[in-house]
A and B are shown apart, each in its own frame.
Chain A
Amino acid sequence: MTTLHEALETVYKSCRQQLFTCALHVTRCPARAEDAIHEAFSRLLRMGRMPDDLKVYVFRAVRNAAIDQVTRFRKLGDVHSNNGAVAIFESHDGPADSASKREFQSRLETAIASLPEPQRDTVVFHLYGELTFKEIARLQGVPDSTVAARYYRALEKLRAELKE
């Protein structure tokens, strides 16, 4: 029988990047995103029991821990600006990046930032957190159809913004 430790290890190894992206989307600071993931796993281990859908549970715990991080540092007056800017993409000033790639990424960041928050979260969770609509629905506590509608509406807006 798989223990909670083993199951969490499996989820971490398979979703490490996605968890980090989701946490970074909330905190906008890599160090705090990592702290949030550590805190979430610590809380899950203290809980000591295996939830029904562990993957969604872990993502929810990470998101909650990330929100806690933001709240904690906002109280201290030390928070990264929450102006809707997208913080999840790699900085695009490397010599290997072509100009067109850099330009596309910059426009994409602006386009995602201009989306309403529920649509922005849905796009980030689905495209970059690699969660299914069903998993996002469980995470956000809304019906699957709402998630799908938000996603496709957001994708249409992005396509129009990026003139695809």
Chain B
Amino acid sequence: MARRDEHPCRSCRKGCVLRKTVLPHDCRGPNACRDQRRSNRSHRFVAEAVRRGAIGRLHTIIVSFGGWGGNGIARGEPVRRGFDYDRWLGQAPWAPYSPVRVDLWRNHWDTGAGPIADMGPHFLDIAQWAHDSEYSAAVEYEGHGQFPTDGFANVPFKVDVLARYRDGVLIRMDSGNKGIRFEGDQGWIHIDDFGNITPRKMLRDSSVSGIGYTYMAGHVRNFLDCVRSRRQPASGPEISHRSHTIAHCANICLRLGRKLQWDPEGERFVNDDDANRMLARTMRVPWGV
């Protein structure tokens, strides 16, 4: 079964609502949104190294989401026995059942959001942490995506988006091998998704490197601690919403095919009504937030 619950937030406006719901009216205790990488030593080391200026003044962040693909023809078929397709389809606009649609849900705007909003929030969270902009976002987006020309998939398989923060720091989102590279005026540091850190000379304690996305103990520990203290977890709803926002802004930029400017305070695009309208989507009944 495709795990559609993993990435529930497919629009900016929904992210806003979830953040507001989780923060003041959270009746369920702390919400460990994402990202598990926040609570592992490798990613913490990299973020803190950048923040304390180990590579000098940060000027560029390159976030690479890895290769993306998978396509097919989504012809309507009878729903397979034992599968509650209507529940699986959830908030997305109705479409006939097809194994292609279910297996490749990430590759259609109705059910997924492509590589940027899939891997992106994981990596963008670390990028924002290192850049000390966890409660904000980049303000300009420009780029292009390589959209499939046939089949069911309609999200870009290859992306290259260049965004800029107010302080001039560039964040490039591309389809290179999964990882994050920080470049400063005195050096660079890179971490891949397995937590391997380069250059090795940055490491005094080699055990810091190599703790990747599969390490969950720190994430779980942080969640349990927050259940007790009622504090927000390492990657709380507001922080998580902001890293999603960058991904959504980049996607809207690619879908509209033009440069966009974002106001992180008002959480609106500047002088682009079409883009603003894409911040919210209607959910299929009975779904809603």
Our verdict on whether A and B bind, yes or no, reads no
Residues of A within 8 A of B (CB): none
